Amino acid sequence: MNKIVFYLTYPLIWLISRLPMSILYLISDFFYVLIYYVFGYRKKIILQNISYAFPKKTEEEKQKIAKKFYKHFTDIMIESIKSFSISEKEILKRYTYKNPELVNKFAKEGKSIALVSAHLANWEWSISTPLVLEINLFGAYNKLRNETFEKTLRESREKFGITGATTANFIKLIKSNFENNIQGAYILLSDQSPHIEKTFHWGTFFGVKVPVHTGAEMLAKKNDLVVINYRAKKIKRGYYETDFELITDNPKEYKDYEITDKFLRITERNITEQPEYYLWSHNRFKHKDRYKEWLKLQETKQQTKS
């Protein structure tokens, strides 16, 4: 059944991806009208998230951010489809890199790197990073139920040189690379909400106490990875510029979770600069009232161990 669904839908996706960007953005405009005005896709969650992040903004200002987000959200969907057929020349024209020499400096020194980022602007076109970075690139992806489509999606994301692995197997891949002396840079999107039972640390995100992903920090400390933040900034419709910012080249000198908290501060700053381009449709603050519950869960785990 999965193969039938794939063979019915993929040819259409491929044909759409071959259309000029000007036509694709007309399609995006059509879907924007549908999801914003007709269906109101996750409108309550989106406005609630914006309110948590920017409580001092007026309702009019929050509505304005939300409306711009929807327009950008449909653009991202269309740009993701374009990824299936976009050429090296076109993606480098539309997705430029401001200071790749920062990453390449550490690559030339033989260092492996954690490239941490957030769901800001366009994260999908970061598949082009191997075209400007002088190091093996590895990225994690979520496993799809449709294995045939997953294989095709993975091939699309790997076409410029990234090696992909499922989230469940990503740590195994890193371990294997170190055992075999393979240098690499690992792309880790670390801004979304983890499952509460898998949480090690709660931090503040725009002043709200929430559970946060700590995998990047743990991997960096264990494997002595340089930690670099990369941020895509939207210049205009269909054009982005990515810059890199060093978080630390000596992760072991930091106390537990300081690197994670530093990443959150950088992410807050970048979102504040372009709030309409953050992924507000994800329910980032859904666990904000469960801190005491999490503490009790930790106590139970400790009692079980002892």
CB 257 within 8 A of CB 214: yes
Handedness of CA 56, 280, 132, 185 (dihedral sign): positive
Give the pLDDT confidence score for residue 21 in this predicted structure: 96
Mean pLDDT of the chain: 92
pLDDT in tens, 169-194: 888 999 999 999 999 999 999 898 88
pLDDT in tens, 5-34: 555 677 888 889 999 999 999 999 999 999
As a whole number of angstroms, the distance between CA 178 and CA 165 comes to: 16
pTM of the model as a whole: 0.92
* Exposure class string for 67-105: b at 16+ Cβ within 10 A, else e: eebbbbbbbbbbbbbbbbbbeeeebbebbbbeebebbee
Q: Check whether 149 has a pLDDT greater than 90.
A: no
Of 4-8, 125-129, 137-141, 208-212, minimum mean pLDDT range: 4-8
Give the pLDDT confidence score for residue 171 in this predicted structure: 87
Q: How far is CA 183 from CA 49, 90, 134, 200, 232, in A?
A: 38, 28, 11, 28, 24
The CA radius of gyration of the chain, in Å to the nearest whole number, is 20
CB 204 within 8 A of CB 196: no
- Phi, psi of 242, rounded to the nearest 5 degrees: -105, 135
* CA–centroid distance for 212 within its chain: 14
Q: Which amino acid is at 126?
A: S
- Phi, psi of 137, rounded to the nearest 5 degrees: -110, 135
Give the pLDDT confidence score for residue 62 in this predicted structure: 97
Q: How far is CA 271 from CA 129, 185, 188, 231, 264, in A?
A: 21, 24, 17, 10, 10
Handedness of CA 17, 18, 22, 23 (dihedral sign): negative
CB 22 within 8 A of CB 82: no
Q: Which residues pair with 115 in a beta bridge?
A: 187, 228
The secondary structure of 142-204 as a DSSP string is PPPS-HHHHHHHHHHHHTTSPEEEEHHHHHHHHHHHHHTT---EEEEE--SPPPGGG--EEEE
pLDDT in tens, 48-104: 999 999 999 999 999 999 999 999 999 999 999 999 999 999 999 999 999 999 999
From the list 176, 5, 182, 205, the residue with the least C-alpha distance to 110 is: 182
Beta strands 137-141; 163-166: pairing state: parallel
Return the structure tokens found at 7.
């063979």
Which residue in this structure is represented by tokens 């930690």? 227
Q: Check whether 203 has a pLDDT greater than 90.
A: yes
As a whole number of angstroms, the distance between CA 201 and CA 193 comes to: 11
What is the pLDDT averaged over residues 247-274? 97
Give the pLDDT confidence score for residue 120 in this predicted structure: 96
CB atoms within 10 A of CB 289: 9
Which residue in this structure is represented by tokens 């600069």? 273
Q: How many residues in total does the chain contain? A: 306
- Looking at residue 252, the DSSP 8-state letter turns out to be G
Q: Check whether 1 has a pLDDT greater than 60.
A: no
From the list 294, 199, 214, the residue with the least C-alpha distance to 258 is: 214
